[in-house]
Structure 1
């Protein structure tokens, strides 16, 4: 399960209102106008797939999910909690942002864990593990957009190890 803030950040505040998209979301069990406290991670993946088809039909699934990761961060900043969090991100800088990133995921009740390893002054490795299929490209977009808030231009490479583990190699 995952808290509704993930859904709210992306599907309520991150993407534009679209009647077809919203109808497709309702078909799989998500109504953006009637948020529940939490949802299954499997539903989030279904909604990501729908969003990719609706908003990025000409792109690969990987690129569509990466862009949705950007939109999540932008939408999360429009929530009450996200507004408070994102206001401080430019002050912490990229190193502290990446060191604290695992704590931000622990806020969630999802079964995802991440280990942040600083490789050198401007390089990190984020090792993700979970008991569910993960979307590395969505998280790539989240980390990219979060780092942009710290006023750096990141470069992130995804290395997928299995359906439930991957590494993001981050430089700036």
Structure 2
């Protein structure tokens, strides 16, 4: 039986840890003065990290990044590429560097089974279940109380799986604005 999704109480804004911002906007993307100015105007200063931020600000900053770095791409593809950048930037953090060393050793199956534990958005209600559907085949089921980007998560998983030394194929299946699955094979 799956745990039920607990909605965020009214008046409580879903928050996320600064590691998302640090991985993507501090270490993952190149320096760009106009981009950084727009991030500051939105409420994020890469030179002054706070412990946590509103999840809506992360989505807003992703939109800004897509406009600056991927203006000719559909939003979905831009967010997928940002997922790649996040993982690459995360590996440049102290925590991420330690995690990256072990990735080839744990392999894709253990990585995918552990992924739900590592995807914690603090006060953002999110349920993730890794379902092994066959040899070299998984379904990641995302049920959230907030609007996560399936394409950003797709990019994160693609890049993470590459670190385990496999070449993955991922497909997004959306059920609703807050419910989607990622089908993964390699």
What interval of TM-score do these two structures reach, taking the shorter chain for normalisation?
over 0.9
1:154 aligns with 2:171: no
Match of 2:112 among 98, 104, 111: 98
- Aligned residue pairs, count: 171
Structure 1 length-normalised TM: 0.98
Find the counterpart in structure 2 of residue 12 from structure 1. 26
State how 1:1-172 maps to structure 2 within 5 Å: 1-106=15-120, 108-109=121-122, 110-172=124-186
- Report the CA distance between 1:161 and its aligned residue: 1.0
Deviation string 1:39-94 (CA, Å, 9 cap, x unpaired) is 01100000000000000001010000000000000000000010011111110000
Give SS of 2:89's match. helix
Find the counterpart in structure 1 of residue 4 from structure 2. none
Over the residues paired in the alignment, what is the CA RMSD in angstroms? 0.7
Larger radius of gyration: 2
> After TM superposition, where is structure 1 displaced by more than 3 Å over at least 4 residues in a row?
none
Give SS of 1:13's match. helix
Give SS of 1:25's match. helix
Q: Is the 8 A contact 1:105 1:113 kept in 2?
A: no
Segments of structure 2 that go 5 or more residues without pairing to the other structure are 1-14
- Report the CA distance between 1:112 and its aligned residue: 2.0
Segments of structure 1 that go 5 or more residues without pairing to the other structure are none
Structure 2 length-normalised TM: 0.90
- Report the CA distance between 1:111 and its aligned residue: 2.3
